Amino acid sequence: MRTAIFAHRGSKANRPENTLAAFEEAARVQSDGIELDVHLTKDQEVVVMHDEKVNRTTNGTGQIKQFTLRDLQELDAGSWFSGNYRKEKVPTLKEVLELLSDYSGVINIELKTDRNVYPGIEERVVRIVDAYRANLPVVYSSFNHESLIRLKKTDASAEVALLLWERLAEPWRYTQQVGATAQHLWEPSAFSDTAKQLHQHNIKVRAWTVNKPKHMQLAFQMGLDALITDYPEVALDLRKSYETAGKKLH
């Protein structure tokens, strides 16, 4: 089975994460999937950023939920990475999906509901996806599995994935109980017997965050469904070499 390459927060290694520049680059290098994170602003707009606070990746301070969209988008979301990206703003989910309207790969939307409560975020995200990405592949993930259950109640056909650090006993049972079709596992957990157990029950395994070439190779060898990486272009090149070597052996 071919292991898909998901770009973590866009092309995070060479662009400011979770910005339009990062997503554009991830699409340009032809990543199989693009992972991003969503929160709600004070005025209930769905925006794309990893942290609950704006401090690390903008020139502002404070919680996203304390900002209106207008005030949030006045912040500089690129200069922390490089002066070349000082015009980058915190994008809305709508803006990202508009940018990626021709992108046929998987969009992995992580709901950042494990620390902050964002009432109604699941319904809002589903409405946006329905409007901007109908009939194109999307998978929702979260460390807050109750959030995924709420999302499934909004859209029973949605593909959801459990985000997990740890390994579970009989991991397929809980996954099926939640209604998920995949586990997104931290590297050490993904590179274990858990992957084999999940595959035996037709549950996908995607590993995060796989940045070392030797670990990328291991993901290919194990037949993981995907690896999520800050270096999609490196992973894509390695996969090509791995597949070429395999063909030569046969």
Task: Write out the catalytic residue numbers.
Answer: 8, 50
Match 């597949």 to its residue by tokens: 243
Across 200-239, b (16+ Cβ under 10 Å) vs e yields: eeebbbbbbbbbeeebbbbbbebebbbbbbbbbbbbbebb
Enter the tokens of residue 174: 């809980």
- For residues 93 and 38, is the Cβ–Cβ distance under 8 A? yes
Cα–Cα distances in Å, from 68 out to 42, 63, 97?
5, 11, 20
